[in-house]
Amino acid sequence: MAWDFETDPEFQKKLDWADEFVRREVEPLDLAFAEPAAPYDRRNPVYSKITGPLKAEVRQHALWACHLGPELGGPGYGQMKLALLNEILGRSMWAPNIFGCQAPDSGNAEILAHYGTGEQKRTYLQPLLDGEIVSCFSMTEPQGGADPREFRCRAVRDGDSWVIDGEKYFSSHADLAEFLIAMVITNPDVPVHQGASMFLVPRDTPGVNIVRLAGLGHEPLGHGHHAYLRFEHVRVPRENLLGGEGQGFLIAQTRLGGGRIHHAMRTVATVRKALGMMCERALSRRTQGGPLADRQLVQQAIADSFIQLEQLRLLVLYAAWHIDKGHKDAVRTYIAAVKVQSAEVLHDVVRRALHIHGALGCSNEMPLIQMWMTVPVMGIADGPTEVHKVTVAKQVLRQHQPYEGLWPRDFLPERVTEARARFAAQLEGSVENL
């Protein structure tokens, strides 16, 4: 039987360990070091003291950098198993860091592994894989968002160097990163999928200037780590062009796909956590002589949330399975689909969980408002929902053809006439009874 919903017992033991470990050792970090960029900030003197022993335990259990194959120091379990692990890690902001798979370092490491020189791998990739440094992916621009057709940031060849000029917006953790991977136009005269390229830019290169740092909604103005960057005559050597001139679009597609599904895997965890809180509250809170859980409208909220969560989980696992099987077209469709669905399910379930907690849910004494803050981000970061819906629709449409006739293929008068003609011999004499 090829269809199976069971996890192999050996890996299940690892998941059970991870579940307990995250609850006991990692989730407290979220409370003690709650600043959103804390897991990225290597300047924090307690960072290595606290995280070092935890990372060592993760390595001992062969769960470090599970998105990577053995050639890069990961166990290479594949995306299905990674999805199951991420269903645990997504409960905690710190967990991806402790397990060596946090974005955007995970994707940036893959780019460097594929396209970096030996020297670049030694200087940047190895410490990144070891969790000693962090990196930044710099693509979005202030005037055109993440649509490369609107990019203005340019690199021009000058002898053995490239010189980059232009602006980038929302380059997360650029202030904390050791290096950036920047997507820049190298030839504006050809279609963008041939005219954009990726560059490795060491953070301390002269001309990499932070205009200001933006934060997310709940952070006070002036705080945050999403950089508005200005590249002013930034000169990098020729070998810092990653993957060849004009390959930027292709690399971005590959890199962003992984990031999107990993977010979706972790969203399953957030949604499950919100549903758990919703159920606990519904069973505990009494109103009009009984628990909230006895009210049918509350039951509807719980049922709808459970069904949406399970649908999301299955879609994520199915997308992961397509990746493991190397089904290229399906991967594109399903990653776009889970990106859309994870934002929508997160929205619906967190809203219900928050609502059922009443004033407490709106307060700063529960984590629900913080979860709620992640809702708009999920629909925008790595590309807005609409763009991914268009991808899904285009992929689905490719499997269909226009119909030539005046009426659609399923036009009943024609279909019924054809069907009757097919059975005419058997039905002779009794056709009037049909």
Ligand X SMILES: Cc1cc2nc3c(=O)[nH]c(=O)nc-3n(C[C@H](O)[C@H](O)[C@H](O)COP(=O)(O)OP(=O)(O)OC[C@H]3O[C@@H](n4cnc5c(N)ncnc54)[C@H](O)[C@@H]3O)c2cc1C
Among 113, 387, 395, 427, binds ligand X (CB under 6 A): 387
Question: x-or-dash pattern for ligand X, window 154-173, by CB under 6 A?
Answer: ----------------xxx-
Closest to ligand X by CB, 64 vs 179, is 179
Instruction: State yes or no: residue 50 binds ligand X (CB under 6 A).
Output: no
Cα angle, residue 129 at apex, residues 116 and 112 outer, rounded to 5°: 15
* Other beta carbons within 10 Å of 296: 8
Question: x-or-dash pattern for ligand X, window 87-116, by CB under 6 A?
Answer: -----------------x------------
Residue 265 neighbours by CB under 8 Å, 6+ apart:
82, 83, 86, 87, 90, 316, 320
Question: How far is residue 272's CA from residue 190's CA, in Å, rounded to a whole number?
Answer: 46
Instruction: State yes or no: residue 138 binds ligand X (CB under 6 A).
Output: yes
Closest to ligand X by CB, 139 vs 264, is 139
Instruction: State yes or no: residue 65 binds ligand X (CB under 6 A).
Output: no
Among 230, 384, 414, 427, binds ligand X (CB under 6 A): 384
What long-range pairs does 314-320 form, CB within 8 A, spacing at least 24? 315/341, 316/83, 316/261, 316/264, 316/265, 316/268, 316/342, 317/80, 317/83, 319/79, 319/261, 319/264, 320/78, 320/79, 320/80, 320/82, 320/83, 320/261, 320/265
Closest to ligand X by CB, 75 vs 379, is 379
Closest to ligand X by CB, 246 vs 259, is 259
Question: How far is residue 49's CA from residue 24's CA, in Å, rounded to a whole number?
Answer: 17
For residues 125 and 116, the answer to whether their CB atoms sit within 8 Å is yes
Distance of closest approach, residue 262 Cβ to ligand X, in angstroms: 14
Question: Exposure pattern of 99-123 as b/e (b: 16+ CB <10 Å)?
Answer: bbbbbbbbbbbbbbbebbeeebbeb
- The encoded tokens of residue 423 equal 């059975």
Which residues is 141 bridged to in the sheet? 145
Distance of closest approach, residue 315 Cβ to ligand X, in angstroms: 22
Closest to ligand X by CB, 201 vs 302, is 201
Give, for 376, the enclosing helix (H) or strand (E). Answer: helix 368-380
Distance of closest approach, residue 127 Cβ to ligand X, in angstroms: 19
Among 383, 388, 391, 392, binds ligand X (CB under 6 A): 383
Instruction: State yes or no: residue 153 binds ligand X (CB under 6 A).
Output: no
Instruction: State yes or no: residue 380 binds ligand X (CB under 6 A).
Output: yes
Distance of closest approach, residue 139 Cβ to ligand X, in angstroms: 3
- The encoded tokens of residue 384 equal 């807005």
Residue 219 neighbours by CB under 8 Å, 6+ apart:
36
Distance of closest approach, residue 174 Cβ to ligand X, in angstroms: 8
Distance of closest approach, residue 171 Cβ to ligand X, in angstroms: 5
DSSP, collapsed to helix, strand or coil, labels residue 338 as: helix
Distance of closest approach, residue 336 Cβ to ligand X, in angstroms: 12
Closest to ligand X by CB, 295 vs 332, is 332
Stretch that binds ligand X, among 3-11, 323-331, 351-359, 383-391 (CB under 6 A): 383-391
- The encoded tokens of residue 311 equal 């649908």
Beta strand pairing status for 196-202 and 179-185?
antiparallel
Closest to ligand X by CB, 21 vs 151, is 151
Ranked by CB distance to ligand X, the top (closest) residue is 145
Instruction: State yes or no: residue 373 binds ligand X (CB under 6 A).
Output: no
Distance of closest approach, residue 384 Cβ to ligand X, in angstroms: 3
Question: How far is residue 186's CA from residue 151's CA, in Å, rounded to a whole number?
Answer: 11
- State the residues that interact with ligand X by CB under 6 A: 104, 137-140, 145-146, 170-172, 226, 377, 380-384, 386-387
